[in-house]
Structure 1
Amino acid sequence: MILSIPKAKANLDVALINMPFASFRQPSFALGILKSALKDEFNVKVFDFNVTFSEKIGVDLYDKISTWHIVDLLGDRLFAEMLYGNNIPTFEEYVDQVLIGNLKEHKAPYDKPGVDAHLSDELLKVQNSAGSFLEEISKVVARERPKIAAFTSMFHQQVASLALARRIKEVLPDTTVVFGGANCKGAMGLEFLAKHPFVDAICLGEGDTSFKKFVGLCLEGFDLGGLSKVDGIVTPMNLKSEGEKFSDHYRHVLEMDMGSVPIPDYDDFANIYRKRRSDSRVKPRLFFEMSRGCYWGQKKRCIFCGQSSETLVFRKKNRGRIVSEVRTLASKYEGFSLCASDESADKEMLEALADALSAFEKKPEIIYLQVRPDIDFGLLEKLSACGLKRLEVGIESLSSRVLSIIGKGVSVLQNIAFLKGCREAKIMPVWNFLWGFPGEPVEAYENMAKLVPLLTHLHPPNYAGQFRLDRFSPCFEDPSGYGIKDVSPYPSYSYVYPFDDESVSNLASFFTFEYQLPQNCAEYTHELMENIFFWKEIHPKSSLCFSRDEEGLIIDRRSGEGEWHIKLDPFTLAVCKACSKPVTIEAIALSLSEKGFVEDEDKIKQSIINLIKYGMVLKEGEMLLSLVTEEEVMP
């Protein structure tokens, strides 16, 4: 469709574009940084078209789509016909095979919503509205006549971004179209560029410096040949001749000096929010950044981690910069919740965050922060007092043997102690329970099935199921070395992209696989799965804690069938409290002696046997951990 646009001198250098189905509750972190880096030298604006579309179809339906099981590619499929027409299977086929799960690879996990006729009709209406939406926002961009249109492309928004990019190129052929983000890494980005000729360039890695240089050269009049020489930028001029295999040996750029990365500018999104403040369902949030990479991952990668190895290099801002950035954003965008973009925050970063928040009488709410389960528990309480409500944590399993196979570097008792610490600090931990790792021991799952009923007072996993094979993960990069074979993109990709198998494989982020040696996950995880269902059901009314009103009384509500009162003698109570964190029996004895108990080790062991019998203490090897929480609950 040819749009009628006013003949006016270009008044915008760079249009930064965020498309559906990125969350409408937050601005793009990447575009916020890019705007901040560019705004002093260029005329730049962020277009949050994801917000526009959420208002068009309704926030509840938008939420359902944007949080749908990611391997189904629902957000991409809803815009695919606007880009590829009838060259892909029909939407009805997609719903039947992928969303409903008649393809075995897309069989619904326990947390995947069902698809009834009503939802199917709603989704079809969304797809049918995509054309008018694209026409509307094309006009918005065309009126600005940007010299550069830059798209951030994360999951669920690749195809919508491409559909708009093509329309922009048709109307403004002199506008340079560039893409960046997770969908542009490695072979994905190169294939993506080769298959979509209306895209002029992609940014392969972190674009803080390279994109600014690209913008400067582009506005000076450099052609694609000149722009292709910018480190981290790939144009069609870089691609090898047809028939040659794509190479990943392009220049990736990492920002090593984190102090030079600007504080994000979210003004465009904030202006939108101020206009729609009346919708109480929309609690806005924004991201800040303390580091990039992963301090554990650069030592030992988890075998399913989908972060590319070069981006795992750990780099962090100093304490002063963290404090300054958090305080600046929290003050400037008052009323927004805060989210940390970090892969994993270390102790120094968490202390700086607590310092930054301590200056506010009314603490900004922190709803996303990712940590390892072996962090200092004292920091949990400190951060809770500073507004922390929710933590993302990489627990993944409750078996030390499985954790060792994964490469997590923690034990089951450390994981459980973390969940216990979160309950005591009134912080909600968000975590996944994963299985299906090649070579994992079946007996580990029998043991975990028995363990779960003892943990119902602690927060259950958000997701439980087989691990996902992601591009860039060690399992993907060396499948035979990790005991898997027949790696193939999820079938959903063929319902979105009309390309040959090799091209689709290059575009894919998520893959299916088979085991080299037979491994029946569904069979050996069945009892564990059933117990996790029970855990989720019973958790809201479950507790295991010391009584506030009666010394030595423990209240146990973990069974879902009333409550049990267990009275401990002073010595056994002291033993129980001495293993509030994972400790050895020698450490317990030392703690008891400091409290005036002079008893031999045999008596300590007998107390531990009794506590284990009642499911109040766990033992693994030489380590012991009490499950009883320190919280005020009436008997």
Structure 2
Amino acid sequence: MRVVLSAMPWHAVHRPSLAVGLLNGLVRRDRPEAEVVEFHGGIRWMEFLLSTGELGVADYVDVAENGVLHGTGEWVFAGGLYDDPGWRVEEFRAYAAERDIDISSLLRMRDLAQPFLDEAAAEILAAEPDVVGFTSTFMQNVASLALARRLKRLRPSIRVVFGGANCDGPMGAALHRNHRFVDLVVRGEAEEVFPALLDRLADGEDPADLPGVCWWDGERPRANPQATHAVPPAMISSPDFDAWHEAFASSPVREHVTPELLIEGSRGCWWGEKHQCTFCGLNGSMIAFRAKPADKFWTELSDLVERHQILDVVTVDDILDMGAFSTLLPRMAESGWDLRVHYEIKSNLRPAQVEALAAAGIAMVQPGIESLSGRVLKIMDKGVDGAMNVRLLRDCEDNGLTVTWNYLYGFPGELADDYWGVIEQLGALVHLQPPSGAVRLVLERFSPYFERPELGFPRRAAAAAYAHTYDLPDAELDDLAYFFDTDEAGISGPIVEALDAALNRWKRDYPYSYLTVVDRDGEVLIEDRRRGRPEALHRLTGWRAEAHRALSRPRSSRAVHDHLAKHGHAVERSAVEAWLAASHRDGLVFRDGASWVALATNGAPHRIPEGAPR
């Protein structure tokens, strides 16, 4: 049996497809007699764009990184799916005009999609496959469907199999029953099912008893119930990236992007098992947290790095396993390797844990900060408050960790007062890493907001972008969609404009702003060189110096007073509160509700302003 595994646009071309790498390793392990060929559609599509001399890497990246909520990448290939270059062009023009989206490069890509798909089909058919598997997440659906339709038309004997996050739950069943050329869909985790499915195909048997598989019983679509148990870590194979690396190394694309490796240390979310964030649907139907043993993960990581000589590594884990601080991270630190690793973390880490991340080569973190208002964070069920989030930003600055985060708004029950108090303090935070921007939350399938309409979003319909991509009735789009339109909640109007303006100023001023502290000889010296504030040097002595030390972590005024008493300072509570208020006016502390936290960093890191020559 010959199996082609395909990752179509808009997969990030500087990274291998983890799904393809895992499936390749899985097939080689469980069906060694099978021959596996990989088709890296993202690389091929970027090569196709470069060959025109009109479009390039920036055009691809813009769609891949910024187009998901509007489905721009899906629309590019929709004409190829329906063999109609003019498919819903005018509808999309109107949609884009309402949202101020420039579609000039998208229109040119639309013209190129069909000839690219013809070339892709020819390349895959030349491999003489028995089975072609497509992995689909976010904007990979339509390009995959368009290519699958061509393959089945040209060679009907090929068995087309879909899987991936876009196939979880009702989405996979809808994708299958509405596209007759898709023979099978695997819903849920594939480790147990995919090898068994290949066995059934080899033996000419139907998959009636395989969990989660959608299949055709004659002309009748069948959807087997998904598995209710999670795949244990021991069953998760190591990814095989050899074919991707060969394709990347031999492609002109390599001259335009820096390669990164992907690796998986865990699945699910240990926080979400207890308190799933109200807006998050990323774990789909299986949120149970499982982590690979540290030895297994380190072996996989070190083998991949040594094999491919790539030090930039992105983990796809939704959250860092807290056990890693005593097992994995010390081992990474002891290796002495110059790794640059990305991890998603929870934002309540202690300073020593942030230091451990940096020592282990974790260079970038995505902490899921989302807000600096404790009340809004409580609505999200994040388990942290604004002061904790600010402390993490400060500690990451101290340790040279790059932080990526968005400021979310639009939550049922939030109030303007939840934002005005934060906005008034943002000018004091310009020495810390700003968010990418302010984003209104989007209703996602599998999130508590989706599963429980009573939480605040009773009306929902498949996002408008799906209607100008698929030729399907509304009821089918509602099953196929991951993103949904709903009535806006929370803040709007002037408060949103004020938040946007404040965050833009933060991003503008960050490269030039510093607030540093030196603690020596019993006094605390704080140098303020933040844009938008007068330069100043604050000298704290006595109990005030100790109070500032106490605010290395969030504390209430009572807790600060108690701390001072334990350290031998007899001072009235009212004096402590007056000092906190004065420090707040000077922008030396951040306040969220009853919690206060110090803002100064221990050093002034070197920064390169965006757009500056390097």
Q: TM-score normalized by structure 2? A: 0.91
Q: In the alignment, which residue of structure 1 is the partner of 2:582?
A: 610
C-alpha distance after superposition, 1:343-374 (max 9, x if no partner):
111321244342342354332211x2101101
C-alpha distance after superposition, 1:212-259 (max 9, x if no partner):
11112212222xxx2232122111239978xxxx98x82236543202
Q: Do the aligned residues in 2 keep the contact of 1:388 with 1:427 (CA within 8 Å)?
A: yes
Q: In the alignment, which residue of structure 1 is the partner of 2:53?
A: none
Equivalent in 250, 256, 261 of residue 236 of structure 2: 261
In structure 1, runs of 5+ residues without a counterpart are 1-11, 109-113
Structure 1 residues 162-201: aligned runs within 5 Å: 162-201=145-184
Equivalent in 522, 529, 543 of residue 557 of structure 1: 529
C-alpha distance after superposition, 1:274-318 (max 9, x if no partner):
224884431111211111111011101111111356411111122
Q: Distance in 1 between matches of 2:536 and 2:433?
A: 20
Q: 1:397 to 1:60 in 2, by over 3 A?
A: same
Q: Quick check: 1:624 aligned with 2:565?
A: no
Count of paired positions: 596
SS of the residue corresponding to residue 303 of structure 2 reads: helix
Q: In the alignment, which residue of structure 2 is the partner of 1:49?
A: 41
In structure 2, runs of 5+ residues without a counterpart are 50-55, 607-614
Q: Quick check: 1:535 aligned with 2:535?
A: no
Q: In the alignment, which residue of structure 1 is the partner of 2:276?
A: 301
Q: Do the aligned residues in 2 keep the contact of 1:324 with 1:356 (CA within 8 Å)?
A: no
Structure 1 residues 442-481: aligned runs within 5 Å: 442-479=416-453, 481=454
Equivalent in 543, 546, 554 of residue 582 of structure 1: 554
1:419 is matched by which residue type in structure 2?
Answer: L
Q: Distance in 1 between matches of 2:188 and 2:385?
A: 34
Q: In the alignment, which residue of structure 2 is the partner of 1:74?
A: 72
Equivalent in 176, 193, 209 of residue 210 of structure 1: 193
Q: In the alignment, which residue of structure 1 is the partner of 2:135?
A: 152
**Identity level (%):** 28
Q: Distance in 1 between matches of 2:429 and 2:286?
A: 36
Q: In the alignment, which residue of structure 2 is the partner of 1:335?
A: 310
2:319 is matched by which residue type in structure 1?
Answer: S
2:447 is matched by which residue type in structure 1?
Answer: S
Q: In the alignment, which residue of structure 2 is the partner of 1:3?
A: none
1:491: Cα distance to partner? Answer: 1.6
Q: In the alignment, which residue of structure 2 is the partner of 1:546?
A: 517
Equivalent in 210, 216, 236 of residue 236 of structure 1: 216
Q: In the alignment, which residue of structure 2 is the partner of 1:426?
A: 400
SS of the residue corresponding to residue 431 of structure 1 reads: coil
Q: In the alignment, which residue of structure 1 is the partner of 2:361?
A: 387
SS of the residue corresponding to residue 556 of structure 1 reads: strand
Q: Do the aligned residues in 1 keep the contact of 2:438 with 2:499 (CA within 8 Å)?
A: no
Which region of structure 1 is more displaced relative to structure 2, 324-333 or 411-420? 324-333
1:566: Cα distance to partner? Answer: 2.3
1:56 is matched by which residue type in structure 2?
Answer: F
SS of the residue corresponding to residue 46 of structure 1 reads: strand
SS of the residue corresponding to residue 554 of structure 1 reads: strand
Q: TM-score normalized by structure 1? A: 0.88
Q: In the alignment, which residue of structure 2 is the partner of 1:7?
A: none
Equivalent in 434, 457, 466 of residue 484 of structure 1: 457
Q: Do the aligned residues in 1 keep the contact of 2:46 with 2:253 (CA within 8 Å)?
A: no
Q: In the alignment, which residue of structure 2 is the partner of 1:521?
A: 492
1:624: Cα distance to partner? Answer: 2.6
Q: 1:219 to 1:253 in 2, by over 3 A?
A: farther
C-alpha distance after superposition, 1:476-510 (max 9, x if no partner):
2222x122233122221111011111112221111
Q: Distance in 1 between matches of 2:96 and 2:330?
A: 46
Q: Do the aligned residues in 2 keep the contact of 1:228 with 1:237 (CA within 8 Å)?
A: no
Q: Aligned Cα RMSD in Å?
A: 2.6
Q: Do the aligned residues in 2 keep the contact of 1:322 with 1:352 (CA within 8 Å)?
A: no
1:610: Cα distance to partner? Answer: 2.9
Q: Quick check: 1:501 aligned with 2:461?
A: no
Q: Do the aligned residues in 1 keep the contact of 2:248 with 2:254 (CA within 8 Å)?
A: no
Equivalent in 240, 245, 251 of residue 270 of structure 1: 245
Q: Do the aligned residues in 1 keep the contact of 2:416 with 2:491 (CA within 8 Å)?
A: no
C-alpha distance after superposition, 1:435-491 (max 9, x if no partner):
111121221122122121221111111131210111121212222x12223312222
1:404 is matched by which residue type in structure 2?
Answer: K
Q: Distance in 1 between matches of 2:235 and 2:458?
A: 43
Q: Distance in 2 between matches of 1:501 and 1:468?
A: 19
2:515 is matched by which residue type in structure 1?
Answer: L
1:549: Cα distance to partner? Answer: 9.7
SS of the residue corresponding to residue 21 of structure 1 reads: coil
